[in-house]
Amino acid sequence: MSTTLLFVTLACNASFTVLNPTTTPNPPTAAPLPAATAVPLLSQQVTLVPQPFEEVSQSPIYTIKSQTPQLTGSDDPRVLAFNQRLTALIEQEVDLHRQGFLQNPVTPLTNGSFLEVTYTLISQHSDIWSLKLDFSFYSDGAAHPGHYSGTVNYDLGQGRELALGDLFLADTNYLETISSYCIAELEKRDIGFESGFQQGAAPTPENYSKWNIAPEGLIISFDEYQVASYAAGPQTITIPYAELASVTDLQGPLASYLP
Instruction: Answer yes or no: is pLDDT of 109 > 60.
Output: yes
CATH classification of the domain holding 61: 3.30.565.40
Look at residue 22 and tell me if it is in a domain: no
Q: What does the pLDDT read at residue 25?
A: 55
Mean pLDDT of the chain: 90
**Residue 224 domain boundaries:** 164-259
Least confident of 3-7, 50-54, 181-185, 211-215: 3-7
Verify that 217 and 176 share a domain, yes or no.
Answer: yes
State the average pLDDT over residues 141-146. Answer: 94
Domain end position, chosen among 162, 186, 202: 162
Instruction: Answer yes or no: is pLDDT of 7 > 80.
Output: no
Q: What does the pLDDT read at residue 31?
A: 58
Q: pLDDT (tens digit, 9 = 90+) per residue, 171-209?
A: 999 999 999 999 999 999 999 999 999 999 999 999 999
Q: pLDDT (tens digit, 9 = 90+) per residue, 120-140?
A: 999 999 999 999 999 999 999
Please give the model's pTM, rounded to 2 decimal places: 0.83
**196: how many CB neighbours lie within 10 A of its CB?**
9
Q: What does the pLDDT read at residue 26?
A: 57
Verify that 89 and 200 share a domain, yes or no.
Answer: no
Verify that 195 and 255 share a domain, yes or no.
Answer: yes
Strand segments (E) across 59-181: 61-72, 113-125, 128-138, 146-155, 160-161
Look at residue 27 and tell me if it is in a domain: no
Verify that 85 and 133 share a domain, yes or no.
Answer: yes
Look at residue 23 and tell me if it is in a domain: no
Domain count across the chain: 2
CATH classification of the domain holding 207: 3.90.640.20
Domain end position, chosen among 114, 129, 162: 162
Mapped onto helix, strand or coil, the DSSP state of residue 235 is strand
The answer to whether the beta carbons of residues 69 and 119 sit under 8 Å apart is yes
Distance CA 140, CA 111 (A): 7
Domain end position, chosen among 162, 187, 213: 162
Verify that 48 and 148 share a domain, yes or no.
Answer: yes
